[in-house]
Amino acid sequence: MWRAVLTAAVAIVALSAAEPVWIDAGGPDDEAAIGAAFRSAQFEVRGVSANFGEAPLERVLPRIAALLPPGAHVVAGAASAADLGHETEAVTALTSALRRERLSILMLGAATTVATVLELHPELARRVRRVVAVAGRRRGQTITAEPGGTAQRDLNFEMNPQAFHVLLKSHVPLTLIHPVRGASTQAIEYLEGARRCSVEPAEIRRGADDTGPGPDKPYLVAGPDVRSKFRVEYCATR
């Protein structure tokens, strides 16, 4: 009887325990998602890092810092795609955090920091519960802010496609949230279990630039029509 009671108590604690999460941000547009993560009773935010985005890292850092609650701080990540494979303050901090415990990673910007951790320390892939990234699309799909709007870049992916290739090769559980307005907040909903997504093949392929005249560019695509050994969870945003 006591064994049954103890087993039940352990199960209750496991269900009620908050999920440890690391936030890897890319800019002030992530404000809603960062705020929601810190407010949620389902998460324990273990750290926040920031990378280059549409603005340089030195401008992104103070803007992310201003979004954090008292006592939290942000560590500096990649200043450019060229930092892939190189140690930064954020790489060191995330590496240490993963060695302490398994983490989910909410990746709201470029994949450079997370990919560098996995490239320098491949043994830590098993310490990653899941990576939730705001990036990716269906084959032939155009990214727009509003239905029928002007084609936009898959910015988080296009800032460092090679970093996403590292993520795919690592076989960490990877979830892609289709990048439209509000996608960062929907990433939080996914982590909270409010959204269900489908497991599909994914790959990086090249094609004509859908945002205007220019050379071919890489695309991160997922779907049942993709032939690839890599698998991701793909969430089509509402």
* Unique residue bearing structure tokens 């859908």: 210
Residue 90: inside a domain: yes
Cβ pair 191, 223 in contact under 8 A: no
pLDDT digits (tens, 9 = 90+) for 145-172: 777 778 889 999 999 999 999 999 999 9
Question: Region 170-176: what's the mean pLDDT?
Answer: 96
- Banded model confidence at residue 8, pLDDT cuts 50, 70, 90: very low
Single-letter amino acid, residue 192: E
Tell me 81's DSSP state: G
* Domain carrying residue 39: 18-235
Q: Nearest CA to 185 among 21, 36, 24? A: 36
Q: Record the pTM.
A: 0.88
Tell me 126's DSSP state: G
Helix axes 89-100, 112-120, angle to 10 degrees: 60
**Separation of alpha carbons 135 and 225, rounded Å:** 18
Q: Name the β-bridge partners of 47.
A: 22
Which CATH number belongs to the domain containing residue 135 in this structure?
3.90.245.10
- Banded model confidence at residue 181, pLDDT cuts 50, 70, 90: low
Count CB neighbours of 4 within 10 A. Answer: 8
The per-residue pLDDT of the chain, averaged, comes to: 87
What is the count of structural domains for the chain? 1
Residue 13: inside a domain: no
Residue 2: inside a domain: no
Rg (CA), the chain: 18
Residue 73: inside a domain: yes
- Banded model confidence at residue 237, pLDDT cuts 50, 70, 90: low
Residue 137, CA distances (Å) to 24, 107, 155 in order: 21, 16, 12
Question: H-helix or E-strand containing 107?
Answer: strand 103-107
Residue 98: inside a domain: yes
Lowest pLDDT segment from 64-73, 181-190, 205-214: 181-190
Residue 12: inside a domain: no
Residue 97: inside a domain: yes
